[in-house]
Structure 1
Amino acid sequence: MITVTSEGRTPAVPEGAGSATGYGAPTASWRRRALTMGAEEEYLLVDPVTRQLRPEAQKVVSDASAELGERVTTEITCYQVEARTDPHTSLAAFAEQVRAMRTAVVRAAARHGLRVVSTGTPVLPQPHPLAVTDGPRYARSVAMFGALDDEQTICACHLHIGIPDADLALQVSNHLRSRLPQLVALAANSPYWQGRDTGYASWRTLAWARWPAAGPPPHFDSTAHFDALVEDLTATGTIMDRGGLYWDIRPSHHVPTLEIRAFDATPTVADTVLLAAVTRALVATALADIEAGKPALRPPSDLLRTACWRAARDGLTGDAVDLHARRLQPAATLIERMLDDLRPALLHHGDLDTVTTGWARLRTIGNGAERQRAAHRKGDSPSAVVDALMQAVNAADQACD
């Protein structure tokens, strides 16, 4: 079995891994394997009365660690909490741990008079200057990147899929690049910034893209190509180290996983579970294509970047860029086409019903961005959006079972 381990934890050596680095060639067809998945979720802490951000992350993390141990930690600002799951092959077990993880953070926050929201960007204007978490790495980042760190109250959901071979992980990355626009659209949950509607479904995607090594990753010819680029980026002061590779897809630098980072923080457990199932199926499909010798679609970098921009702007509504035909198609049509392509992998992992139900749910109620805007229309204020996010963060949702 392939083993995926959450960031910051010592990985178990995968079966069949024969090298000292923990990477090894697969010993059986990927079509017969159950890929593991793990998630990192980032949340914001808010005051239940003012709905403003509150810099109490250290207190909440200390409290929540009684239940979650090292799976809960702080982030760059004092308004954010990050929590991680263990690796799972069962989607049901993954869903249950995401739910329990959120419950632990919500309860810890409540004990300090706070509430938790899961959104890609804060809805109301953020404090200035930002309260940055103590630590040499964060201090170095602020000194190195200046005002870019002023916008780091943005939150994401990162999904890890277990691949114990470094070269294979990069090949999968090459195959997944062209799917990034659909993933951005599915997960879009950040229409508001500084108290106003940005006109984008995922403003976090635009804010994150300003970093020097962010957005869609390059197409890599080999691990040597990847290593040389990382060395150049580090030598030129573009990144501090490999942890500063903020591409939407990247091989983890210390655990045997491929990390997909294109997702806004999700409003509900059901949203995270849907994204996890789709992502695992994408990776499994890519592995099967690689095994069959099928080349990755390689759109021009500028066109891929444009497609991601369009997805961040429009989400599931309107048109999206069809990277095969190089023209516009309805966004929902492209996602349904992708889900059709993933059907064998979804069946293999037993996830087809969950994804079918989850996609039908999004077609009915919209992605996170559409739900935030609906809350604003209903309550006629940004505060109503924060209230809806507080209610959604740990709500029981049968769609994720």
Structure 2
Amino acid sequence: MDELILDVAAVRDPHELEAMMRTEAPVRPVRIPRGPRLWLVTRYDDVRSVLTDPRVRKDSAGTTELMTGQLGPHSGALSPAFRALDAHMLNSDPPDHTRLRRLVGRAFTSGTIARLRPRVAEVADGLLDTMAAAETADLIPAFAEPLPMTVICELLGVPEEDRDTFRECVLAITSQDAGGRLATLSARFLEYLRELIERKRAEPGDDLLSDLVTVSDGGDQLAAGELVGMASLLVIAGQDTTVNLIGNGTLSLLRQPDQLAALRSDPDLLPGALEELLRYDGPVHVGTYRYTVEPIVLSGVEIPAGEFVAVSLSSANRDENRFDAPDRLDITRRAAGHVAFGHGIHHCLGAPLARLEGKIALGKLITRFPDLRLDTGTDEPAWRFSLLMRGLEALPVRLR
């Protein structure tokens, strides 16, 4: 089957293309600029199947080997620093994954997340107070980015003066067009995380990273490289996905004012509305790469062994065979079963934190600014060029 080249337009606005693929070519090889060839899976049932199939692996060593064969050793995604940051439980298989998730779960508990609620609300209120001084705002840098960045940095014990570096590195690592900056920023991020971990080891604080340094399970602890990978994962997953959840969710509501009005009139709808917003235009487009160790068959198409497989979570959540009228936003819909946070053993460990931040952010935003609307005097909201993330570069709004 011929490769489909995913250009900038296809990556930034994938819904129409992937609706066609679900009907005509639900499993097909694709390629993106500076990326490897991979088989893109678009149907809901196939996506869930891949996410639980033991013949499909995520081990970072296997990924590196396949990536080297396709891209050559000088790709930024194969730099030693990037691979070190990428060596975490999301890119591991049992039994390593089981062990890492158990250790992290002992520190990253539901109680830890629940205790963050007052602080998340305080940070959101402060950002909205600052926004209120103007008539217009770009919601991404003014609200959606600093809220989760503040929360995750405080959770990990990262000093405030270091957060701009964090933001720059996170955006480069998840972008499709970082180019030569990827290796450089990965190295900077790796060096910083190593130094931060050593500081926590010498002087533990009341933060999650200090807990991860000391957490133990039957004498087992996270090794130095595992701590770096886990810190990287928590920062990237804890920051970027929540930025996109807030931005995408706000845009979806502003484009469909009847749904926004319904939510304003009945705030009790917010928990269900958040799940529908996650389904409708969630923060992750395509899950991180997996690879086959045996041939698998999906929708009648055989993917050979030794091939990259990518699942479109966005497409699965718009599958008409799983959700009625999937292209319609309905905040009263029972959106249970969506895969915005994945499925199976790699289901996002930070999903409860993202949900907490999303509910607080959206609830406070639409309450504080009852006349909130898109700023039609500026350009259309622009989507980032990232196959992994589904997020906005900018979201200009009028506050009153």
Which is richer in helix?
Answer: 2
Q: Larger RCO: Structure 1 or Structure 2 (Cα < 8 Å, ≥ 6 residues apart)?
A: 2
TM-score computed with the length of structure 1 as normaliser: 0.26
TM-score computed with the length of structure 2 as normaliser: 0.26
